[in-house]
A and B are shown apart, each in its own frame.
Chain A
Amino acid sequence: MIEISLIAVPLLFAALAWVWPRERTRSWLLPAAGGLHAAGSGWLLAHPSAPAPGAWLGFDPLARAVLPMISLLFFVGSLYAVAYLKVRQERPNRIFVFALLILLGFLSLAIQAQHLGLLWVAAEAATLMTVPLVHFNGTARAFEASWKYLLVGGTGIALSLLGSFCLGYASLNAGGNGDLTFHALAGQFVNLSSDAARYSHPWVVAAWVLLLTGYGTKMGLAPMHTWKPDVYGEAPGLVGALLAGGTTTMAFVAVLRVKQVIDAAGGAEMTQRTLLAIGLFSMLVAALFLLGTPDFKRMLAYSSVEHMGILAVGASLGGLGIWAALFHVWTNSLTKGALFLSAGNIRRAAGTANEKEVSGMAWSAPLSARLFVTGLFAITACPPFGPFFSELMVVRTAFASGSLFTAAAFLACLLIAFFGLTRLVFAVVDGRPHVATRANASRFRETAGVILPPLAFLGFSVWIGLATPPVLSGAWTAVENMFMP
């Protein structure tokens, strides 16, 4: 019942937001829905129950391992949203609030979906709901970003549909009865006769290629990451935080669910190799682009591409690697929350996000600049922040499994990314403010509403890294066991 309410409550609040008559108070619906959602998923985290096999929807170990993070991200983000929409009163917020709530509902649906088709429908709907969020600012640049997001994201989601069909057909060829729940799919490929295997295997390979490309586009793995810099650069900071922590996590869950089926169908070696290759490639591409990008919001997009690569590498290592990847989902998303929200503040204080026009933000927006710099050290894996511990876990797993090349390439990419990130962050924070940005900065106020949420994210990042609550590590171990043959 609570499982369903995680989907229904945001959707009901979305309907309420649509009919809500007052612009000024509408934004309070966000923390109200976010609070209920967080309470629900927190309760389910503490009281796990196995979903019925064959159910289309359920709070299974994988949902339990990530959905509470999205709740937390949304709830803290929604408190920021109230303050943000208050300073952006010139923009009508009905569609914005509505789309945010629908997004939360569909993310909850996609992550709890136990059915290949239902997962696709929810993922597609969540993608579409992001579009109005991206062009909230209504500028020409925002429309350009929305258009590119629609085309690239739409193609990606179309390919994942084609992949879902291939997987469905593979299961028919393997003697399946058309039941497309993940549980049934994984079971259908066990103990195949050589004839059935011959008929189904090519389809399994095709399905994996298409599904990894499709959901990988959504995750933002290179080379399908091209929408990310444009969208993160133009969307409000809050939307960037929800995309980088929520939508990408949903896509990662989709990849893991598909991987589980493909592994059962005898493709374990293939999924490992492709995930490792695409993961390291994403990290490398992101690190190289980080050295050159002049825009600090686009910088966060490349950082996100890098961290999606880390997730793919973790998942490719299997076993403890999956545990580490889920750990990293939490630490990366919460740290990114702090970075996006503080970057949004700096962007508002400066009026632009380009390094050529922005400097001396330590003067114009002192608290946000401090948060931004702290967030920088957190995301580049400096202790005591969470990403340090989760990335350490990935490297240790790589060493333990004897993949020295993986570990070395991983660390090299992290180092390059560190140079790129620090270069740009200090260019923005240090120095004297540009004359052109001063008028903007004098109108900017660092109220508690825009400072405390990113601070809270940093606090969570430290907490989850230093003292991982046993209930969380237990949830991740449950997923790790799901992937054990």
Chain B
Amino acid sequence: MTNALNLFIGLAMGLNLLALASSRLPSVIRAAALQGMVLGILPLLLQHEFDWMVSLVAVGTIAVKGFVIPHLLRRALRAANIDREVKPLIAFVPSLLLGAGATIGAVSLSGVLPLRPEQAGSLLVPGSFATVIAGFLMLVGRTKAISQVCGYLILENGIYLFGLLLINSTPLLVETGILLDLTVAVFVIGIIMDRIQKEFDSLDSSKLTTLHE
């Protein structure tokens, strides 16, 4: 069980690096979507017997993270007619190196945080921290609004991964609420992006520099 779990988490960690290294926005979106789907499968692996609520959340997660949100993002991409992140604040190779460093750091940090016996040996904690940091790097290091949204999605994926530690003990109502919030968040972000696109004729958030001291 732990082996299969770690395999999927390793895959998600690899997708972090793929997203960090990629300059083409469609592949960043694809990496974030694939990661969301991989994580959506995990609750099914973690449960001991079939629980329809868990399955429902898994299906919901895969649908929202794998299909609905990427679809919204691709539509925004087409509307803005852009394809590449041209001038990131943190260039691709440094951000890849930072992401790899963060992955190593997360693995060593998780040694300090003791896991419960039944979860010992799983990569849930390092995977979660590495994903959160990768998402954060994209959030601060990219200038295209769509890359920043993908960064936010990856950040949320990392937190979702951490939430799986608690899946057997906490009511799923909370998880459902989280999923709902995420959907609404991306929806709101989408509307704002649409307005920014119309107002500034670009989705380059580095142009948003009027407000400062």
Interface residues of A (CB under 8 A from B): 117-118, 120-121, 124-125, 128, 131-132, 135, 140-141, 143-148, 150-151, 154-155, 158, 161-162, 165-166, 168-169, 172-173, 177-178, 180, 198-199, 202-203, 206, 229-230, 233-234, 289, 292-293, 298
B166 touches A165 (CB 8 A): yes
Number of chain B residues whose Cβ lies closer than 8 Å to a Cβ of chain A: 43
Neighbouring B residues of A154 by C-beta, 8 Å: 152, 185, 189
Q: State whether B211 touches A128 (Cβ < 8 A).
A: no
CA distance A166 to B166 in the complex (A): 9
When distances are taken between beta carbons in the complex, the residues of chain B under 8 Å from A121 are: 174, 177-178, 180-181
Output the least CB separation between B211 and chain A (Å). 4
B81 at the interface (CB under 8 A from A): no
| B166 and A168 contacting across the interface, CB-CB below 8 Å | yes
Residues of chain A within 8 A (CB-CB) of B139 are 151, 155
Interface of A is mostly: helix
* Minimum Cβ distance to chain A for residue B196 (Å): 5
Q: Does B3 contact A (CB under 8 A)?
A: no
- Kindly list chain B residues whose C-beta atoms are within 8 Å of the C-beta of A143: 192, 195-196, 199-200, 208
Q: Are A117 and B200 in contact (CB under 8 A)?
A: no
A120 to B213, CA, bound (A): 32
Near A by CB (< 8 A), chain B positions 170-200 give 170-171, 173-174, 177-178, 180-181, 184-185, 188-189, 192, 195-196, 199-200
Contacts of B200 in A (CB 8 A): 140, 143
Q: Measured between alpha carbons, how far is A105 from B45 in the docked complex, in Å?
A: 38
The answer to whether A161 and B199 touch across the interface, beta carbons within 8 angstroms, is no
Task: For the complex, give the distance between the alpha carbons of A154 and B112 in Å.
Answer: 28
Residues of chain B within 8 A of A145, CB atoms compared: 211
The 8 closest A-B pairs by CB, nearest first: A178-B169, A117-B174, A121-B177, A144-B208, A230-B211, A124-B181, A199-B114, A165-B162
Contacts of B156 in A (CB 8 A): 158
CB of B38 closer than 8 Å to a CB of A: no
Chain A nearest CB, measured from B194 CB (Å):
10
Contact A150 B177 (CB under 8 A): no
Report chain B residues within 8 Å CB of A120.
174, 178
Q: Contact between A177 and B169 (Cβ–Cβ < 8 Å)? A: yes
Q: Which residues of B contact A165 (CB under 8 A)?
A: 159, 162-163, 165-166
B211 in contact with A233 (CB, 8 Å): yes
Query: Within the assembled complex, what's the spacing in Å between the Cα atoms of A293 and B185?
Result: 32
Known interface pairs A121-B178, A128-B185, A178-B169; A144-B210 also in contact (CB < 8 Å): yes
Q: Which residues of B contact A (CB under 8 A)?
A: 112-114, 116, 128, 132, 136, 139, 145, 148, 152, 155-156, 158-159, 162-163, 165-166, 168-171, 173-174, 177-178, 180-181, 184-185, 188-189, 192, 195-196, 199-200, 205, 208, 210-211, 213
Given contacts A124-B185, A145-B211, A148-B208, 20 further A-B contacts (CB under 8 A): A117-B170, A118-B177, A124-B181, A125-B181, A125-B184, A131-B188, A140-B200, A144-B210, A144-B211, A147-B205, A150-B185, A150-B189, A150-B192, A151-B152, A158-B156, A161-B163, A162-B132, A162-B159, A180-B170, A203-B113
Residues of B within 8 A of A202 (CB): 112-114
Contact partner of B192 among A135, A140, A172, A298, CB < 8 A? A135
Closest chain-A Cβ to B122's Cβ sits at a distance in Å of: 13
Interface of B, secondary structure class, is helix
Q: Which residues of A contact B181 (CB under 8 A)?
A: 121, 124-125, 128
Give the shortest distance, in Å, between B105 (CB) and chain A (any CB). Answer: 14
Whether the pair B113, A151 counts as a contact (CB closer than 8 A) is no
CB distance from A323 to the nearest CB of B (A): 32
- Asked whether A173 lies within 8 Å of B188 as measured between CB atoms, the reply is no
Asked whether, in the complex, the Cβ of A118 is within 8 Å of the Cβ of B174, the reply is yes
B116 touching A172 by the CB < 8 A rule?
yes
A199 CB contacts on chain B under 8 angstroms: 114, 116
- Is A178 a contact of B174 with CB atoms below 8 Å? no
- With A125-B184, A151-B148, A161-B178 known as contacts, the answer to whether A178 contacts B196 (CB < 8 A) is no
- Considering the chains assembled together, what is the distance between the CA atoms of A168 and B163 in angstroms? 9
Kindly list chain A residues whose C-beta atoms are within 8 Å of the C-beta of B165. Answer: 165, 169
* A-chain residues with CB within 8 Å of residue B177 when the two chains form the complex: 117-118, 121
Cβ contact within 8 Å between A168 and B211: no
Q: For the complex, what is the distance from the CA of A166 to the CA of B170, rounded to whole Å? A: 13
- Cβ of A209 to closest chain B Cβ, rounded Å: 12
In the assembled complex, 7 residue pairs joining A and B whose CB atoms fall closer than 8 Å, in A order, are A117-B171, A143-B208, A147-B192, A165-B165, A172-B166, A202-B114, A298-B213
- B145 CB contacts on chain A under 8 angstroms: 147
Whether the Cβ atoms of A128 and B184 lie closer than 8 Å is yes
Given A121-B174, A151-B139, A289-B213, also A161-B159 (CB < 8 A)? yes
- Closest CB of chain B to A370's CB: distance in Å? 28
Q: How far is the CA of A148 from the CA of B148 in the complex (A)?
A: 11
Instruction: Give Cα A132 to B192, complex, Å.
Output: 9
Residues of chain B within 8 A of A147, CB atoms compared: 145, 192, 196, 205, 208
A229 touches B211 (CB 8 A): yes
Chain B neighbourhood of A292, CB < 8 A: 213
> Are B213 and A293 interface neighbours, CB within 8 A?
yes
User: Bound state CA distance, A289 and B213, in angstroms?
Assistant: 9
User: In the complex, what's the smallest C-beta–C-beta distance from A234 to chain B, in angstroms?
Assistant: 7
Closest to B164 in A: A165
**CB <8 Å contact, B116 and A173:** yes
| Distance, CA A206 to CA B177, complexed state (A) | 23
Q: Which of A132, A135, A169, A172 has the most CB of B within 10 A?
A: A169
- Cβ-defined contact, B170 with A168, below 8 A: yes
- Residues of the A chain whose Cβ atoms lie less than 8 Å from the Cβ of B152: 151, 154-155, 158
Q: Could you tell me the distance between the alpha carbons of A155 and B200 in the complex, rounded to whole angstroms?
A: 24
Alpha-carbon gap, A132 to B188, bound state (A): 9
CA distance A234 to B208 in the complex (A): 14
Q: Which residue of A lies closest to B174 (CB)?
A: A117
Q: Which residues of B contact A135 (CB under 8 A)?
A: 192, 195
A178 B170 Cβ-Cβ under 8 A: yes
Distance in Å: Cβ of A437 to nearest Cβ of chain B: 20
Select one of B159, B192, B196 contacting A158, CB under 8 A. B159
Q: Is there contact, CB below 8 Å, between B196 and A155?
A: no
